[in-house]
Amino acid sequence: MAGLYNILIYSHDTYGLGHIRRTMAIAGHLRSKNVNVLILTGSPIAGRFSFPENVDFVRIPGMIKKTNDEYHSLSIRIDPEHALNIRQSIILTTVQTFQPNLFLVDKEPLGLKKEVLPTLEWIQQHSPQTRTILGLRDIMDDRDTVRTDWQNKDVYRLLDTLYSEIWVYGCQNIYDAVSEYAIPENVRNKVHFTGYLPRQVASVKAIAKARKKFCVKDDEQMLVVTTGGGGDGYAMMDAYMKMFEQGLFDRGKSILVTGPFMPLSLRRKLAKRGRKAHVKVLPFYPRMEELIGAADVVVSMGGYNTMCEVLSQRTPALIIPRETPRREQLLRAMAFKREGLIDYLPWSDLDEHHLAQKLNEMFDALSAYEDVIRAFPLNGIATIKERLACFRAS
């Protein structure tokens, strides 16, 4: 239809909730009556999300990472190479038929196993008017790992030839991806640090309702523990539960959201222990912004999306970052700690005693965290909209 602006977002989603949640947040803010947003995703739970008007998704076969360079089909019994060929074909065909004005690639410059490369090359040859954008979270991994990976995959050259711009969803003064990842001089003018992406902020009424749902007393303090998708979150929740079982911490009401990817046997084990320790255990909560907004403190592993959510809700957080297979969460936790935005507990120190000590220290200094968080800007969407307006005007 004449006058419509089409945006296509590729989100490979091999595991977890991070990519699809970030993509949904961007799509929800960019769509309008004159803007269509179509999402290409491999997430197995994309259908659980409520898609607003003018936003839809195309599901590509899911893949799951086995090693750093090995992926298997997530659901169907099919050879990995065959599955990747199907994904690559769907991506290219979608671009050719949807004819996007803007093609936004999330995180992986060439896609999973270079599956987006043929599409980027097709756009360059047959649809040069389409803007191609690489969207990067604030921190990808440690500098040496990213530099080596990008050199081996010829990413530096392709950033110059195949992408119109690079959007970094973070602040350069907190983590300078240009310097850390050695982005060449001829590409640096394409880089825009958007700032962090704000998330939906729960209303005062919704927050009050959430507190009333889980807290017995009006003045009872509330803690929310979340590990995102939950696939690697059991150790953190196990330590948290031990803290209660051993009587090391007794403040307020705790709600543990395990995530849909935590194995069912472990979820059931936590739920059984939670009933004895008076800790509420949930597998999934569709409106996490309400829980986070209602909490006095959030305990999390510190992925990009969770950090944006706690900052958007202005809730103090204790971050327990994983350090493998990537150091991204650790680097983010250290950077945010330097800014006074969060406190963090190294994974090597994770046990019930250190956890109780950290939480007690945080509760004694909540107002200091709240003051710093309240002043922190979340202007990522505003910057993206400015870039979009420039594209549409040119």
Split at pLDDT 50, 70, 90, the class of 52 is confident
| pLDDT digits 0-9 by tens, 70-93 | 566 666 667 878 889 999 999 999
| pLDDT digits 0-9 by tens, 194-235 | 999 998 899 999 999 999 999 988 889 999 999 888 888 999
First to last CA, the chain: 20
What DSSP designation does 318 have? E
How far is the C-alpha of 378 from the C-alpha of 7, rounded, in Å? 23
Q: What is the pLDDT of residue 31?
A: 85
- Give 247: exposed, middle or buried? Use CB within 10 Å, 0-12, 13-18, 19+: exposed
- Give 153: exposed, middle or buried? Use CB within 10 Å, 0-12, 13-18, 19+: middle
CATH of domain 5-197+378-393: 3.40.50.2000
Which DSSP string corresponds to 47-98? Answer: GGSPPPTTEEEEEPPPEEEEETTEEEESSS---HHHHHHHHHHHHHHHHHHH
Q: What is the pLDDT of residue 25?
A: 84
Beta bridge partners of 131: 102
Residue spans in the chain of domains classed CATH 3.40.50.2000: 5-197+378-393, 204-374
What DSSP designation does 46 have? G
Does residue 50 contact residue 287 with C-beta atoms inside 8 Å?
no
Strands of 253-257's sheet, edge to edge?
Answer: 280-282, 253-257, 222-226, 297-300, 317-319, 343-344
| pLDDT digits 0-9 by tens, 94-124 | 999 999 999 999 999 999 899 999 999 999 9
At the top level of CATH, the class of 204-374 is: alpha beta
| Beta strand 253-257 pairing with 280-282 | parallel
How far is the C-alpha of 316 from the C-alpha of 344, rounded, in Å? 11
Q: Considering only CA atoms, which of 225, 208, 174, 200 is closest in space to residue 312? A: 200
Q: What is the pLDDT of residue 68?
A: 54
How far is the C-alpha of 311 from the C-alpha of 332, rounded, in Å? 13
Which is higher by pLDDT, 66 or 100? 100
Q: What are phi and psi of 247, to 5 degrees?
A: 70, 30
